[in-house]
Amino acid sequence: MASGTWEEFFAAHLPPPDFEDNRSLLKEFCERHDQYGNRIALVTSGGTTVPLEHNTVRFVDNFSAGTRGSASAEYFLEHGYAVIFMHRQKSLEPFTRHFSGQKLLDMLDIQERGPNTTITVKPDSVDVLAPILLRYKAAHSAGAILHVSFTTVSEYFWLLRAACECLTNLGPRAVLYLAAAVSDFYIPKDRVPTHKMQSASGAPVIQLQLVPKMLAPLVNLWVPEAYVVSFKLETDENLLVPKARAALDKYKHKMVVANLLQTRHHRVILVTPDETQEILLTREEVHAGVDIEASIVLELVRLHAEHLAPCGAPPAAPHGSLAPLAPHAPPTPRTPR
């Protein structure tokens, strides 16, 4: 079954209600960082949904907690990038991803002394919390991160295109790190029932349609100069690299991060037009809580600097907060594991 074009998709799906607000935020953020010559990473994260009803009770969802995207956003910030964190509502976010709500409440001690109540973080939790809290506060006070959120696949595409419209001015200084798990299938709007499907009428048959591949217009039209990275999540090892390479051949972007559902937290394969590079955490690293995203982003920052070099743009500052106007130090070269 044909999937329809991306133009037809946008024509058939209205923008989400908060779209203009988000577009203004994206515009302001990109213009501000563009002025300073900063690099911006657009990190998409979490899964998109496909509603099965207009008044949505049921939907088809894509598995993704947002681990990859939220961790990667932190490392882009460390490398001096400004970050647009475009995530599924309620999915994991940078910094807060380290603590569930319960874990945070368990860290707190409450002291009631007469009329004065104070709440402090237990001393043995300070060591864990302090470094993350400092990085969180630094990123927010520098205005280095913008959060925008989506739920459905059409909301995602509207936001993605709006972000691209703002990022295109940055030319090659923009990185698109498309880690969100985007639905391949959707239900055309005119076939979605208005009310909740009634179980009394028997089990429904859901006829899905293919979502048009947005990577094609994104790479060719929306941000032709940007460093675009897409992700392939598969469950079958045999399909992994062939499918990643086929995507690169087809869309002509810069990198596919290929990973298997079963091993994605300790193994990825970075597929570029020139090479195929495996990043593998050791058992000790996994046990020590090392994020594989640190290595992915480190290598990507290196390749992005190469991509920028012909343009004479300054490379990003390693592990620094944003230093507007000041020249950036080159990143420390290091071979990823």
Smallest separation (angstroms) from its own copies to the CB of 313: 32
For its own copies, which stretch binds (CB under 8 A), given 17-25, 78-86, 178-186, 274-282?
178-186
For its own copies, which stretch binds (CB under 8 A), given 12-20, 71-79, 80-88, 182-190?
182-190
Distance of CA 246 to the CA centre of its chain: 22
| 206 belongs to the binding site for its own copies (CB under 8 A) | yes
Closest CA to 292 of 208, 231, 222: 231
- Which string of DSSP letters, residue by residue, matches 232-249? EEES-HHHHHHHHHHHHH
What is the C-alpha to C-alpha distance for residues 182 and 7, in angstroms, rounded to an integer? 18
Give exposure, 298-316, as e/b (b: 16+ Cβ within 10 Å): bbbbbbbbebbeeeebbbb
- Which residues inside 103-142 make contact with its own copies, applying CB under 8 A? 104-105, 108, 110, 117-121, 123, 126, 129-130, 133-134, 136-137
Is the separation of the CB atoms in 205 and 52 below 8 Å? no
| 195 belongs to the binding site for its own copies (CB under 8 A) | yes
* CA–CA–CA angle 62, 165, 273 (5° rounding): 65
Smallest separation (angstroms) from its own copies to the CB of 293: 18
- Which residues inside 207-246 make contact with its own copies, applying CB under 8 A? 207-210, 233-236, 239
Q: Which is nearer to its own copies, 210 or 309 (CB)?
A: 210
Taking CB under 8 A as the criterion, the residue among 60, 280, 290, 323 binding its own copies is 60
Taking CB under 8 A as the criterion, the residue among 10, 13, 16, 59 binding its own copies is 59
| 53 belongs to the binding site for its own copies (CB under 8 A) | yes
Taking CB under 8 A as the criterion, the residue among 189, 191, 196, 250 binding its own copies is 196
Is the separation of the CB atoms in 144 and 83 below 8 Å? yes
H or E element: which one contains 155? Answer: helix 153-167
Smallest separation (angstroms) from its own copies to the CB of 181: 7
Q: Which is nearer to its own copies, 123 or 333 (CB)?
A: 123
| 288 belongs to the binding site for its own copies (CB under 8 A) | no
Give exposure, 143-172, as e/b (b: 16+ Cβ within 10 Å): ebbbebbbbbbbbbbbbbbbbbebbbebeb
- Which residues inside 68-97 make contact with its own copies, applying CB under 8 A? 90, 93, 95-97
Closest CA to 214 of 235, 230, 232: 230
What does the binding site for its own copies look like in residue numbers (CB under 8 A)? 1, 3, 49, 52-53, 55-63, 65, 90, 93, 95-97, 99-102, 104-105, 108, 110, 117-121, 123, 126, 129-130, 133-134, 136-137, 181, 183-185, 194-199, 202-210, 233-236, 239, 261-262
